[in-house]
A and B are shown apart, each in its own frame.
Chain A
Amino acid sequence: MSRFVLVRLMESMIVLLIMSFVIYALVGLMPGDPIDLMINSDPKLTPADAARLREFYGIDKPLTERYLAWLIAVLGGDFGNSRLHARPVLDVMGPFLVNSVNLMVLSFVLSLAIALPAGIYAALNPHSRTDHAINLLCFAGISIPVFWLALMLIITFSVILGVLPASGVATVGGGGFLDRAMHLILPTVTLTVFSVGHYTRFVRASMMETLRQDFIRTARAKGAGRTRVVLRHALRNALIPVVTIIALSFGTLFSGALITETMFAYPGMGKMIYDSIMGSDYNLALIGLLFATLLTLLANIGADIAYAWLDPRISYKQGGASS
């Protein structure tokens, strides 16, 4: 197993290296540069200023040259400075990351806490009224546009009822644990509503598929109780595709909550990455996106390990998987 993890980690490093170039090139190939944007917002900026600033920020150099300089610096432990925030990239990213971790972990745990029982219940009682109700709610969660839901939540709980803060991470000037928790509620609910629909559907489908398998019938024939059959035999097997989906969505959980973060003025990774791309802040955009890539890769390694735990037939001994 340890050899398997080591090989996967090395593969991940290669993927990261390739991704770093792809991301750098994509950001670099976007039309215009930050100086163009500055020219449009400052009537006093002269063409001479623009040329000087392009040289100062190194934007006048070819893309590959810039990338290589960046890569050498990163390999030497220097992640560079954010052009937009005029501070080291890791210093800038820190608070955004903490905010995202709070939001995502909470939303993720809540989603699973709702999706697992709801999906299992729906699978065990297919075509029942409750199953239909769960399906309806799932489709509603998947279909409702995130920005609209966010706005409705703000209007309901902040404007009409006035019981929850509409934006931010905490009340200005600090705020304790409870205050921060209050600020997390609406963004968490928004994200959870969206992801819980997906997860529930996956759990339901996977569980129904597993319940039709021969080994479940065998377990029942052996006299195993309903709870034991569901939790011990069916669920573990049903979770394998669910784990895959969760692992794949892990990176997007950190970088893809842009709309939610924008609507709630919540300074998280998604908004940070978006702003850095739009502002041609190469260093920050790269590190942010690479971090999301790394999370996805690590989550997938975690998923591979989880497969072995969930299904003893899966083995990572030399010679590949066997069943």
Chain B
Amino acid sequence: MLRPLALALCLLVSLALAAPPAARAAVKDELIIGMTQFPSTFHPNIDSMLAKTYVLSMARRPFTIHDKDWKLVCMLCTKLPTIENGLAVPEDLPDGKKGIAVTYTIRPDAVWGDGTPVSTKDVLFTYEVGRHPQSGVAAGELYRRILKIDVKDAKTFTLHFDRITYNYNDINGFDLIPAHLDRPKFTEPAEYKNRTVFDTDTTNPGLYFGPYRITEKVTGSYVVLERNPTWWGKKPYFRRIVIKVIGNTAALEANLLSGSIDYIAGELGLSLDQAIAFEKRHGKKYNIRYKPGLIYEHLDVNLDNPVLKDRRVRRALIYALDREAISQQLFDGRQPVAATFVHPLDWIYTPDTPRYRRDLKKARALLDAAGWTVKRKGVRTNDAGKRLAIELMTTAGNRSRELVQQVLQSQWRDIGVATRIRNEPARVYFGETVTKRKFTGLAMFAWLSAPENVPRSILHSKEIPTAANNYSGQNYMGYVNPEVDELLEAIEVELDRDKRRVLWHRLQRIYASELPVIPLFFRADAYIMPKWLKGIEPTGHQYPTSTWVENWRAER
């Protein structure tokens, strides 16, 4: 009776042994990338998702972008407009305010994959879609700020903005949509999201004008990109790039080892601790690069909490932490300690801010001064007998954060602070607890930002989420500081770089001194590449490496 079982096993084993290894399918002119998410849409302006940006960056080009040195440069335009070169001109608006007219010229050789020239028709159509409230475009602020567009010819146009901001020439989010394909789908704007060619005919060559175009897509599984014959720039090395989606990172790792994929994208791959563990086991076979970026891990402090409202307590908490040691012990020193929300690679950064190295003496003195003097069973209490206990929350299941949490808890115990850890699944944590300010003490999470990104929605007093404003805004701390409000408003409209730098420095000093947020680290992405893969240059900011895919190559 065991025969069927034995037969089935034999069949499986023999099939397995007879099979050609899938791993060997990869050839040198093909690159197979593994990542953990599949894009929910391929429309560049609907929804915002890193997986989509990663894929589309190989097939499309933005007008402007921050390069690997974090400088704003032109990609689809011929010259970056500035007030100095006369392509940006401040102008008076009918309502008496000041606006600015910014002129761009599309590269003359820019052509959609079906041969149609990229033109101002596309610019006008993109603007029309971007402004329409029912088109489903996610980030509409840029389009709302544009009052009108003047078209000079098929390649040159002028955007008239309703205000002058320091980043007046940064139109990274103005992602062109091909008017010749998508305009017929926009007759009913509310239905556009479901009819756009980007999702109904994703492999249409007319959607792309980058080094590659999407030639095959299997939802939830993989995307295939092949060289775009109409691409005007440097010919990409790889004939074909396959992006495979493997949701589980352990399986992603196994796929890399088996050769089913060649490279794990740092942007959407292994977490830092997994990558470090992988390096220890298999580091000799791969090039592993760590790039700290604009992902700012921190603790939001609920300033409505009477204990944490006292700046002395917040300073005591940070003085008790040995963040350098945490980074060294848990992350091999790959995650630099953050002094504020500004990354040291950003030109607005200043090292001249209050620094907090572990100093238990200072921490204890601050708590004494704040009235937390008596210690009972290792925990401080105040005169009223209240225990100095703080709740610390983060996303359940995030191993890195949970490890950090445990160290924080232990280091705070050294100064007599009891920490209660209460974690929630990301969906509940971000969907309810953080966004509705339901955390009572400290909330650990990360902010993803851009170079010189004004944290208005995070620090301005008008951005505190409440039931009255339908929980809009991201000032989850409840931080109110009129000087910070003024600085945020002034930075946005200050065009002079030197003057702006002064404002930025002041803002960082206040932030580090007042500590509405306890800074932890800048998170690093781990890029796990085969030895033969060259040319991938992690940027550290939110624009993925795939934006420069034409520089990638294989070298044996």
Contacts and interface: CB of A to CB of B under 8 A. Distances in A.
A binds B: yes
Given A150-B251, A265-B221, A87 B16 contact: no
A64 to B, nearest CB: 20
A231 interface: no
Given A32-B435, A37-B431, A159-B257, A53 B138 contact: yes
A282 interface: no
Given A166-B254, A166-B260, A279-B40, A52 B2 contact: no
Contacts of A33: 431
Given A110-B8, A185-B15, A39 B139 contact: no
A28 B8 CA distance: 45
Given A32-B432, A172-B224, A86 B8 contact: no
Interface string B13-45: 001111101111100000010000000110100
A171 B49 contact: no
A30 B245 CA distance: 26
A173 B239 CA distance: 14
B220 A49 contact: no
B431 A49 contact: no
B467 interface: no
Nearest to B435: A36
A161 interface: yes
Interface string B413-433: 000000000000001101111
- B interface, by DSSP: helix, strand, loop or mixed? mixed
Interface stretch (B194-202, B297-305, B350-358, B486-494): B194-202
Interface stretch (A6-14, A116-124, A285-293): A116-124
Interface string A162-186: 1111111101110000000110010
A280 to B, nearest CB: 9
A263 B250 CA distance: 8
A278 B139 contact: no
Contacts of A120: 1
A159 B282 CA distance: 13
A45 interface: yes
A87 B194 contact: yes
Contact of B470 (A49, A51, A182): A51
A258 to B, nearest CB: 10
B28 to A, nearest CB: 16
Interface in A260-282: 262-265, 267, 271-272, 275, 278-279
B430 A37 contact: yes
Contacts of B472: 47, 50-51
Interface stretch (B150-158, B446-454, B500-508, B528-536): B446-454
Contact of B251 (A46, A53, A264): A264
Nearest to A119: B1
Interface residues of A, number: 76
A123 B430 CA distance: 53
A218 interface: no
A262 B140 CA distance: 34
A154 B255 CA distance: 8
Interface in A73-123: 81, 84-88, 92, 95-96, 110, 113-114, 117-118, 120-121
B540 interface: no
A69 B47 CA distance: 24
B238 to A, nearest CB: 14
B75 interface: no
Contact of B141 (A49, A169, A173): A49
B199 A45 contact: no
In the complex, which of the residues A38, A39, A158 has the most CB atoms of chain B within 10 Å of its own CB atom? A158
A185 B41 CA distance: 31
A48 interface: yes
Nearest to B17: A163
B243 to A, nearest CB: 10
Nearest to B5: A114
A166 B255 contact: yes
B457 interface: yes
B248 interface: yes
Given A44-B173, A85-B41, A151-B250, A130 B2 contact: yes
A167 B244 contact: yes
Contact of A169 (B49, B200, B221, B430): B221
A159 B470 contact: no
Given A37-B431, A118-B5, A271-B247, 16 more contacts: A30-B428, A51-B472, A85-B40, A86-B196, A86-B199, A87-B194, A87-B199, A88-B194, A92-B219, A96-B220, A166-B251, A167-B260, A168-B260, A172-B242, A172-B244, A185-B16
Nearest 4 interchain pairs by C-beta: A32-B431, A47-B472, A121-B1, A31-B432
Interface of A: 30-33, 36-53, 55-56, 81, 84-88, 92, 95-96, 110, 113-114, 117-118, 120-121, 124, 130, 147, 150-151, 154-155, 157-159, 161-169, 171-173, 181-182, 185, 189, 262-265, 267, 271-272, 275, 278-279
